[in-house]
């Protein structure tokens, strides 16, 4: 009876061109917790606009298993096709079918399962994919033929490191008694203390760990003087006989990396710049390994100076085999990218 009254109210308010949302808000003011749901109001509005003039549900003789008939299967399939994020509750409201029937149709008839969306760094265009594919094929050919060696690659990038460590949601779970409240974790604020680090490394280990001082901006001049130049000098010290001869530099296309002054330094040093494709953190060792590896192992609550010491110590204590393993994974990632035609492939890595 209550739904009959509310349906009549919905139909009367439609005459005043009110939206379903406005009508639902009025029903909540009138009926409180007993008001029908917004989805029900929306369904009634669609039905009334389609010409329905009765407030009563059509007669149904029970809910037999035959509700999983072809018509209902087709209806559920059409609703899912129009909006793949509909919940079973939404489907109940839109179809008046029972949850059991809907689940049977979804799982047994349509063979569907609900999967969380996969996050990707960028919406790649056909041109982006072609560039990635061409790059991976060229790199893989050079590395597999022996023309280039993994120990000749110098790579690096920038990343923010927060002074206060916050674990991932899954890592923050703790065992509690039934009557105990969960532990609390304070969210990071927009003003949370953090420091930008520029880190370069090779198969042999870390080459440079540089903390950008507060208030400084990494433009091309700063990048050359404080980051790239010192990294090159360290490689020269490590390779006394050959210096930078034969070395390859793998960096992304950030503005300070791709400026004319930066490119002039790279060209004059004799090191070869690898043409890293845009929007490709999955092909950058710093992004797919180094930064997460460091951040997951740092202690909590540090200032910029202690954070610099902790990062440097952690990288120096990391076994060389871990650095080598990272570059071997680089070859595997080149192969993955080729196999998917230049698209992102992180979800395929086990």
Instruction: Read off the CATH number of the domain in which 210 is found.
Output: 3.30.420.10
- The number of CA neighbours under 13 Å toward the Cβ of 17 is 0
- By mean pLDDT, which of 37-46, 323-332, 338-347 is the weakest? 37-46
In a domain, 138, yes or no: yes
Q: Does 118 map to a domain?
A: no
Q: Is the dihedral of CA 90, 91, 97, 100 positive or negative?
A: negative
What mean pLDDT value characterizes the chain?
89
Number of domains the chain contains: 2
**Residue 327 shares a structural domain with residue 212:** yes
Residue 220 structure tokens: 């091309």
pLDDT: which is higher, 53 or 294:
294
Residue 273 has phi, psi (to 5 degrees) of -85, 120
Top mean-pLDDT range of 164-168, 183-187, 229-233, 292-296 = 229-233
Residues 273 and 298 both lie in one domain: yes
Residue 135 sits in the same domain as residue 37: no
pLDDT of residue 116: 79
For residues 247-266, average pLDDT = 96
For residues 221-226, give the mean pLDDT.
Answer: 96
Q: Which of 249, 285, 284, 278 is nearest to 265 (CA)?
A: 249
Q: Rounded mean pLDDT of 251-257?
A: 95
| Cα–Cα distance for residue pair 193/9, rounded to 1 Å | 55
Q: Is 148 helix (H, G, I), strand (E, B) or coil?
A: coil
Strand partners of residue 194: 162
Does residue 51 sit in the same domain as residue 168? no
Listed residue (273, 297, 348, 289) closest to 322, CA to CA: 289
Could you give the residue ranges of the DSSP H alpha helices within the chain? 2-14, 20-31, 38-49, 70-82, 88-95, 99-104, 126-145, 220-222, 229-238, 255-258, 260-269, 285, 291-295, 304-317, 320-339
Q: What is the mean pLDDT of residues 271-292?
A: 96
Q: Is the pLDDT of residue 323 over 80?
A: yes
Task: Specify the pLDDT at position 114.
Answer: 86
Assess whether 86 and 54 both reside in one domain.
Answer: yes
Other beta carbons less than 10 A from residue 265's beta carbon: 18
What confidence category does residue 177 fall into, taking pLDDT thresholds of 50, 70 and 90? Answer: confident
Query: Taking 60 as the threshold, does the pLDDT of residue 279 lie above it?
Result: yes
Whether 287 and 326 have beta carbons less than 8 Å apart is answered as: no
DSSP helix/strand/coil, 33: helix
Q: Within this chain, do residues 64 and 197 fall inside the same structural domain, yes or no?
A: no
Question: Does 294 lie in the same domain as 324?
Answer: yes
How confident is residue 66, by pLDDT bands cut at 50, 70 and 90?
A: low
Structure tokens given for 7 = 């349906």
For the record, the structure tokens of 339 come out as 């196999």
Band of residue 58 on the pLDDT scale cut at 50, 70, 90: low
324 and 233, same structural domain?
yes
- The larger pLDDT score, comparing residue 233 to residue 58, is at 233
Whether the per-residue pLDDT at 172 is higher than 90: the answer is: no
228 with 300, same domain: the answer is yes
Tell me what pLDDT residue 53 has. 66
Are 227 and 80 found together in one domain?
A: no
Report pLDDT for 8: 83
- Where residue 316 falls among pLDDT bands split at 50, 70, 90? very high
pTM above 0.75, yes or no: no
3 burial (CB, 10 Å; 0-12 / 13-18 / 19+) is middle
The answer on 300 and 333 residing in a single domain is yes
Mean pLDDT within 84-110: 88
Alpha-carbon distance 236 to 277, whole Å?
27
**Does residue 121 fall inside a structural domain?**
no
Same domain assignment for residues 57 and 27? yes
Percentage of residues in the chain having pLDDT higher than 70: 93
Any domain includes 114:
no
The pLDDT, as a whole number, for residue 67 is 64
Asked whether the predicted pLDDT for residue 94 surpasses 70, the reply is yes
Average pLDDT over residues 11-25: 84
Q: Which residue has the tokens 């039934």?
A: 178
Position with higher pLDDT, 62 vs 81: 81
pLDDT in tens, 138-151: 999 999 999 999 99
Which structural domain, as residue segments, surrounds residue 6? 2-109
């Amino acid at each position: 009876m209550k739904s009959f009254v509310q349906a009549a109210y919905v139909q009367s308010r439609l005459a005043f061109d009110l939206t379903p949302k406005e009508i639902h808000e009025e029903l909540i003011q009138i009926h409180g917790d007993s008001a029908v749901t917004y989805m029900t109001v929306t369904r009634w509005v669609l039905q009334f606009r389609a010409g329905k003039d009765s407030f009563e549900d059509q007669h149904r003789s029970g809910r037999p298993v035959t509700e999983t008939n072809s018509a209902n299967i087709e209806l559920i399939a059409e609703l899912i096709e129009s909006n793949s994020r509909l919940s079973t509750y939404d489907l109940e409201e839109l179809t008046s079918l029972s949850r059991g029937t809907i689940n049977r149709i979804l799982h047994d008839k349509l063979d569907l399962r609900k999967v969380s969306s996969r996050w990707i760094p960028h919406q790649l265009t056909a041109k982006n994919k072609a560039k990635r594919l061409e790059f991976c094929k060229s790199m893989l050919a050079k590395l597999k033929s022996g023309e280039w060696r993994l120990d000749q690659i110098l790579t690096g990038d920038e990343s923010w490191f927060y002074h206060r460590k916050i674990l991932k949601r899954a890592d923050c779970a703790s065992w509690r008694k039934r009557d105990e409240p969960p532990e609390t974790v304070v969210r990071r604020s927009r003003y949370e203390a953090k420091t930008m680090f520029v880190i370069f490394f090779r198969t042999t280990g870390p080459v440079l760990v540089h903390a950008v001082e507060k208030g400084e901006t990494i433009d091309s001049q700063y990048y050359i003087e404080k980051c790239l130049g010192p990294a090159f000098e360290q490689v020269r010290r490590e390779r006394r006989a050959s210096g930078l001869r034969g070395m390859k530099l793998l960096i992304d296309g950030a503005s300070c990396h791709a400026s004319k002054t930066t490119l002039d330094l790279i060209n004059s040093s004799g090191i070869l710049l690898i043409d890293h494709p845009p929007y490709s953190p999955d092909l950058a060792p710093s992004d797919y390994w180094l930064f997460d590896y460091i951040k997951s192992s740092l202690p909590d609550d540090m200032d910029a100076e202690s954070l610099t010491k902790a990062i440097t110590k952690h990288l120096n204590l990391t076994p060389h085999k871990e650095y080598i393993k990272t570059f071997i994974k680089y070859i595997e990632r080149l192969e993955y990218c080729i196999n998917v035609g230049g698209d992102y492939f992180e979800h395929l890595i086990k």
